[in-house]
Amino acid sequence: MKNFGKKALIKQRSAKRVAWTGAIAASLIMLPSIFGGTPALGQQKAERDSLTYGELIQKTEKDEVRKVELDETEQIAKVYLKGQKPDTPPIQVRLLNQNTELINKLKAKNVDFGEVSSANSKAAVGLLINLMWILPLVALMLLFLRRSTNASSQAMNFGKSRARFQMEAKTGVKFDDVAGIEEAKEELQEVVTFLKQPERFTAVGARIPKGVLLVGPPGTGKTLLAKAIAGEAGVPFFSISGSEFVEMFVGVGASRVRDLFKKAKDNAPCLIFIDEIDAVGRQRGAGIGGGNDEREQTLNQLLTEMDGFEGNTGIIIIAATNRPDVLDAALLRPGRFDRQVIVDAPDLKGRLEILKVHARNKKIDSSVSLDAIARRTPGFTGADLANLLNEAAILTARRRKEAVTILEIDDAVDRVVAGMEGTALVDSKSKRLIAYHEVGHALVGTFLKDHDPVQKVTLIPRGQALGLTWFTPNEEQGLISRSQLKSRITATLGGRAAEEIVFGKPEVTTGAGNDLQQVTSMARQMVTRFGMSELGPLSLENQGGEVFLGRDWMSKSEYSEEIAAKIDAQVREIVNNCYIKSKELLQENRTVLERLVDLLIDQETIDGELFRKIVAEHTQVKDTQVVDEKLPVSY
């Protein structure tokens, strides 16, 4: 029905266009009659100033005529009478077919007369009037012809590549502008050296790699690395997104791939950068049902062009993706993408280097330590750190300061992680309940040996959270032990435990909803992925991710229903043990809990150093470790 609607709309527009063109043409055709005819006012004036043929002969006999001009073409005589003013127009007299008598009278009276013709001037005026409507009509026809030509040319160019081409890419980005991913930079610097000095490698028998795949989470700098390669290489550079290959029309994607590689071969050696290649490089044969898959045809053509029968000497392809698990195996084999460069989130040293790069063009106060910022931002990518300093600069301008201070940095970190700051709550039961909840998290985390130290506890709402407790690790944590995971679960349950201890089980709130989700996820991963339960060292589930159609959707469960019940029981046991431990710690230290809550309600924010100082004053922090306590579990 949509196609019929479109056709009807096109016909309606065409009919309107034809009617409009006809109206213009008709109005233009009427112009000769409008301009060629004698106006009515002119006709009345001509009647008043004209003479009859007989009156002209009489005036000639009376010697009142000074000059006569005879126009045989129009059969009109223009008569100038004696005594008329010089600027008076001549009197027009309609002539007869034979004017012998008038001519004899004029000769007899020695009147100056002659024959004039208006045929040439009339023909010129007529031609001009005709051109007045012919030329616009011709111009209109040329306009429609040009539009139809453009439409046909666009249809012919539909299969052309849409890659942006630069003979020497001037991206403004060099390798010095990329920090925090030194291993990836080293791999890609070799690619630039291949292009600039190939003899260094060919002399020992090495061949130039055909493709480099950049793999990593969003925001880690994959596209930035490609810009740096383009800026350093100094060779022709093509850049395109994977989504620009695929269209709804059959064969267009494959045609664009062929056209792209044809242009690249003409400009070899060169670089081709394909961003988000997973849009076109997903695994083949994943569709449900039959039919032609345009994306698969595009991928087949890409595979052939990268390493097929003919080959592509001198072309290096760089691609970026954050979903390497969905790429086709034929695309990842050596000979197509020879190298897979992991561009991961930076470590502490990498974050410090990235902060130095982004701090170049910002006024940072001398008291601000970039090293401290790097330690406070574990897990931040390069894009996150750039956004962090930009938010800090915006806050500085809003507060009318001349340089970014640590206060703006702290507020920017909170904004990036948790969201925009909200209005603080008034002193009420709700505010006190939130204070117990947040202090419960922080206090349990402080008493646990294997937990990260508290950085800040606040009652200022941010985003969807009405209060926040921040923990900052002392060092990079690549691997997490079983005791650390159980400590995290215990501290996460500290908020719910504090609510139950102070207000009673009937008064617990929904504030722990997100906490319980995190706890359940961590406990389940301990059982099913990390082998940290009584079920033994078994990996019963794959890493969580999106379902890939055709591969995961129809897959069967990897364990029986009996094992599933045991998994649920083990998850409950871990969570229950940690919850009991959390309540014990808070009940044993109820005094410090109350003091910290009163202080938090009064100041709304407690720094980590002050928090630990108050805890040390009231109790001796013991090296408490979460102990496995067996609870009766019925399977």
Q: Domains in the chain, ordered, with CATH?
A: 42-117 (3.30.720.210), 164-342 (3.40.50.300), 348-418 (1.10.8.60), 429-543+557-618 (1.20.58.760)
Establish whether 437 is an annotated binding residue.
yes
Residue 621 has pLDDT above 70, yes or no: no
Confidence grade of residue 47 (pLDDT, cut at 50, 70, 90): very low
What DSSP assignment string belongs to 424-492? PPPSSHHHHHHHHHHHHHHHHHHHBTTSPPEEEEE-S-BTTBSSEEEE--SS--SS--HHHHHHHHHHH
Residue 363 has pLDDT above 80, yes or no: yes
Q: Tell me what pLDDT residue 596 has.
A: 92
Confidence grade of residue 632 (pLDDT, cut at 50, 70, 90): very low
Residue 120 has pLDDT above 80, yes or no: no
Give the mean model confidence (pLDDT) for residues 47-69: 74
Q: DSSP secondary-structure letter at 352?
A: H
Residue (of 348, 575, 596) closest to 469 by Cα position: 596
Establish whether 338 is an annotated binding residue.
no
The Cα-based distances of 399 to 402, 403, 404, 422 in angstroms read 9, 10, 10, 17
Residue (of 513, 412, 516, 424) closest to 466 by Cα position: 424
Establish whether 222 is an annotated binding residue.
yes
63-91 tens-digit pLDDT? 778 788 777 767 787 788 887 777 778 88
Establish whether 379 is an annotated binding residue.
no
Classify each residue of 148-159 as buried b or exposed e, where b means 16 or more C-beta atoms within 10 Å of its C-beta. eeeeeeeeeeeb
Lowest mean pLDDT among 21-30, 388-397, 432-441: 21-30
Confidence grade of residue 577 (pLDDT, cut at 50, 70, 90): very high
Structural contact between residues 105 and 79, judged by C-beta atoms closer than 8 angstroms: no
122-143 tens-digit pLDDT? 666 666 776 677 777 788 888 7
Q: Tell me what pLDDT residue 493 has.
A: 94
Confidence grade of residue 507 (pLDDT, cut at 50, 70, 90): confident
How far apart CA 434 and CA 509 sit, in angstroms, is 10
Q: Tell me what pLDDT residue 295 has.
A: 77
Strand partners, 462: 421, 465
Lowest mean pLDDT among 32-41, 89-98, 320-329, 405-414: 32-41
How far apart CA 560 and CA 230 sit, in angstroms, is 53
How far apart CA 450 and CA 497 sit, in angstroms, is 19
Establish whether 223 is an annotated binding residue.
yes
Establish whether 217 is an annotated binding residue.
yes
Residue 496 has pLDDT above 90, yes or no: yes
Q: Which amino acid does the sequence have at 573? A: E
Give the mean model confidence (pLDDT) for residues 271-284: 85
Residue (of 121, 101, 99) closest to 109 by Cα position: 101
How far apart CA 257 and CA 195 sit, in angstroms, is 23
The beta strand positions in 183-314, using DSSP E, are 211-215, 237-241, 270-275
Residue 570 has pLDDT above 90, yes or no: yes
Lowest mean pLDDT among 5-9, 561-565, 601-605: 5-9
Give the mean model confidence (pLDDT) for residues 157-184: 68
Contacts of residue 620, Cβ cutoff 8 Å, sequence gap at least 6: none
Joined together, the tokens standing for residue 226 give 């490609």
Establish whether 461 is an annotated binding residue.
no
Establish whether 515 is an annotated binding residue.
yes
Establish whether 358 is an annotated binding residue.
no
Establish whether 618 is an annotated binding residue.
no
What is the pLDDT of the chain when averaged over all its residues? Answer: 77
Q: Tell me what pLDDT residue 437 has.
A: 92
Lowest mean pLDDT among 194-208, 278-292, 451-465: 278-292
Whether the pTM exceeds 0.75: the reply is no
Share of the chain above pLDDT 70, in %: 77
Q: Give catalytic residues, as residue numbers.
A: 438
Structural contact between residues 310 and 299, judged by C-beta atoms closer than 8 angstroms: no
